[in-house]
Amino acid sequence: MSGDADPTRPTLLLVHGAWHGAWCWAKLETELAARGWTSRAVDLPSAVRAAPSAGPLPGVLDDADVIREAIAAIAGPVAVVAHSYGGIPVTQATAGAANVTHLVYLAAYQLDTQENLLSFRGEFEPELVVEEGLVQPTAHLAADLYGDVPEHEAAAAAAQLVPHSARCATEQVTQVGWHSRPSSYIVCDRDRMVPPAQQEKMAARANTTYHLASGHSPFLSVPGELAALLTQIVG
């Protein structure tokens, strides 16, 4: 989505987390456009929207390829905003991307070389349902994802969630964009999905840290506040 954008500003590339899609950024994109920002959102293949065909399920490297292609398709500077799991393929994809000017990790996994989601966070929680290599979007997950989102909006969002490839939890990061690009971390202080204490550990790797008094999905619960904060960070 584009507003009446300033061509000297970077385009914001929005990368969703597990179980989601580009749809989840719609409210934030409207707020960004009102502030004169151009934004684009990607759909990661690891969020499996159709019955998987024969062969391995998509993983971190497949997601990184999609992000890398999206970055290359943007003329001019790009600031990449990664949410939750999306931080892992963003870290991988942005290494060596010449037009990336800033990385923003929104309650996201800012991992380092040879780390993966499970090596950082630990084993899957017992309440997670994994079937045939896919982590299912259960009602328990939705409650943690959307704890501070209005009930009718949370229900609408939960209805759009899709299974996510469990392979993404074990594939390691092999190259790291934030080693050579400025990065910022936004800690969501009321997060029930990625504990704020874990976010603080990853935020220590970023150049700057910011806080939002929100749950895990501020693009739905406080999109105006998030847009204002992103303007402060990348503007």
Tell me, yes or no, whether 139 lies in a domain. Answer: yes
Separation between Cα atoms, residue 206 and residue 14, nearest integer Å? 18
Beta bridge partners of 46: none
CA distance readout (Å), 143 to 22, 51, 214, 225: 20, 25, 14, 22
Q: In this structure, what token pair is assigned to residue 156?
A: 């609408």
Closest CA to 45 of 172, 142, 176, 163: 163
Q: Which helix (H) or strand (E) holds 80?
A: strand 78-83
How much is the pLDDT for 87?
98
Measured CA angle at 201 (ends 60, 24), to 5 deg:
50
How much is the pLDDT for 6?
66
Tell me, yes or no, whether 3 lies in a domain. Answer: no
Tell me, yes or no, whether 1 lies in a domain. Answer: no
**Location of structure tokens 């999206």:** 70
Tell me, yes or no, whether 6 lies in a domain. Answer: no
Tell me, yes or no, whether 214 lies in a domain. Answer: yes
Tell me, yes or no, whether 2 lies in a domain. Answer: no
Separation between Cα atoms, residue 162 and residue 135, nearest integer Å? 9
CB 232 within 8 A of CB 209: no
Taking only the tens of pLDDT, the chain with its 235 residues reads: 444 556 679 999 999 999 999 999 999 999 999 999 999 999 999 999 887 776 789 999 999 999 999 999 999 999 999 999 999 999 999 999 999 999 999 999 999 999 999 999 887 776 788 898 999 999 988 999 999 999 999 999 999 999 999 999 999 999 999 999 999 999 999 999 999 999 999 999 999 999 999 999 999 999 999 999 999 999 8
CATH of the domain at 118: 3.40.50.1820
CB 16 within 8 A of CB 86: yes
Separation between Cα atoms, residue 51 and residue 46, nearest integer Å? 12
Residue 39, SS3 per DSSP:
strand
Tell me, yes or no, whether 168 lies in a domain. Answer: yes
Tell me, yes or no, whether 5 lies in a domain. Answer: no
Separation between Cα atoms, residue 202 and residue 167, nearest integer Å? 22
Separation between Cα atoms, residue 169 and residue 183, nearest integer Å? 23
End-to-end Cα spacing for the chain: 18
Range(s) of the domain holding residue 190: 11-234
CA distance readout (Å), 125 to 141, 162, 193, 194: 11, 18, 11, 12
Number of independent structural domains in the chain: 1
How much is the pLDDT for 49?
84
Instruction: Identify residue 113 by its one-letter amino acid code.
Output: T
